[in-house]
Structure 1
Amino acid sequence: MDSEIRLRKAQMNEKELIWNILQQAIERRRLDGSTQWQQGYPNLGTVESDISKGFGYVMTVDDEIAVYVALILNDEPAYSTIEGAWLSNGEFVVVHRIAIDEKFAGKGMVKILFDHIEDFTRSHGIQSIKVDTNFDNMAMLKILKAKGYSYCGEVFLAGGMRKAFEKIII
């Protein structure tokens, strides 16, 4: 695959396209029988907020948006309370709201995304990446394991308990 893959900040004029990708992901979670993202979150307002705060990122394949993700530096209040223990107390990147365009599904895009997030984290001199997912999001649990993330415990987020993971980058 000689495609050019890039991770860059999302632009406000891309919010409808991103929301469309998120809606596909919400539906995929529902069809998988997951409770994650089934209560009206995330929504278009979430996307607008992410982009305006500089958290919204897209991974493009030949300039076409394939994946949306929110990358937040050092700020996830829910992570200050964990049933368990984080690996580190240093600076971290929080990964939220990963959504992949149906057209790019099943092509290993999320694994590539995590490689890009690790590069992003390293280039900013940040110690680790923290991420949480629903206990029934099997696809994400498999990817986190494959990418070497350590299970740290559970956090309470968006109305439910989530499995929390961390990977030390530097």
Structure 2
Amino acid sequence: MKFRKSEKKDVEIIMEIINEAKDYFKSNGIDQWQNGYPNEEVILNDIKNDESYVLCDENNKVVASCVISFRGEKSYNIIEKGSWKSNLPYAVIHRVAVKNKLKGKGISSELIKEAEKMCLEKKIKSIRIDTQEDNKSMQRLIIKNNFEYCGIIYISDGSERFAYEKLL
């Protein structure tokens, strides 16, 4: 697999993968990404900010995408029913999505491993991530990759999210 920054030419396939994820969530009763978010404008903004990444297969076809940001996350400033593991500078992983036909093959874990490599290169020793309470598959991924549950955060629309941190 090849990990690289996303480019504008990738937007269509990234949106296909995200729309598959939206359908998966809907069919599994998960109320995530059901309000038009993320959309093409969000993805283009991620690319513009140099925070969008893709994982490509041996044929150079995009099979997964995510955001890895080092700008902090306003929603993480207040955490309830717990606390962050550290006050260190951190990376944030957002919008993890994998082609449906490749789910369960460790692709999401590869994205996390790439984020860890980027952190170590930048001497960042913490990664944070969040997900909805009913997104059990994402919670399993997060725990499998040695993140620790830290508490509850609220995103800009007021929705509650489980928050996790991993120290490197």
Shorter-chain TM band: over 0.9
Q: Select 1:20's aligned residue among 9, 16, 19.
A: 16
1:148 corresponding residue in structure 2: 146
Contact persistence 2:75–2:156 (CA under 8 A): no
SS in 2 for 1:94: strand
Q: Counterparts of 1:158 and 1:14 in 2: how far apart (Å)?
A: 27
Q: Select 1:105's aligned residue among 99, 103, 106.
A: 103
2:166 corresponding residue in structure 1: 167
Q: 1:116 is matched by which residue type in structure 2?
A: E
The aligned runs of 1:20-59 (5 Å cut-off) are 20-59=16-55
Q: Structure 2 regions of 5+ residues with no counterpart?
A: none
Identity %: 31
> How many equivalent residue pairs?
165
Superposed CA RMSD: 1.1
Q: Structure 1 regions of 5+ residues with no counterpart?
A: none
Deviations 1:86-120 (A, max 9, x none): 11111111000001112322212112222222112
Offset, 1:127? 1.4
Q: Give the TM-score normalised by the residue count of structure 2.
A: 0.94
Q: 1:16 is matched by which residue type in structure 2?
A: E
Deviations 1:23-52 (A, max 9, x none): 111111111110111111111111011001
Contact persistence 1:74–1:91 (CA under 8 A): no
Relative to total residues, which structure has the larger strand share, 1 or 2? 1
Q: Counterparts of 2:12 and 2:103 in 1: how far apart (Å)?
A: 19
Q: 1:81 is matched by which residue type in structure 2?
A: I
1:139 corresponding residue in structure 2: 137
SS in 2 for 1:98: strand
Contact persistence 1:68–1:98 (CA under 8 A): yes
Contact persistence 1:21–1:100 (CA under 8 A): yes
Q: Counterparts of 2:19 and 2:166 in 1: how far apart (Å)?
A: 28
Deviations 1:40-84 (A, max 9, x none): 111111101100111110011222211110111032100111112
Q: Which moved more, 1:9-18 or 1:97-106?
A: 97-106
Deviations 1:3-36 (A, max 9, x none): xx12211001111111111111111111111011
Q: 2:2 is matched by which residue type in structure 1?
A: R
Q: Counterparts of 2:20 and 2:93 in 1: how far apart (Å)?
A: 19
Q: Structure 1: which 4+ aligned runs deviate by more than 6 Å?
A: none
Offset, 1:139? 0.5
Q: Select 1:9's aligned residue among 5, 14, 22.
A: 5
Q: Select 1:96's aligned residue among 94, 97, 101.
A: 94
Q: Select 1:120's aligned residue among 98, 118, 121.
A: 118
Q: 2:163 is matched by which residue type in structure 1?
A: A
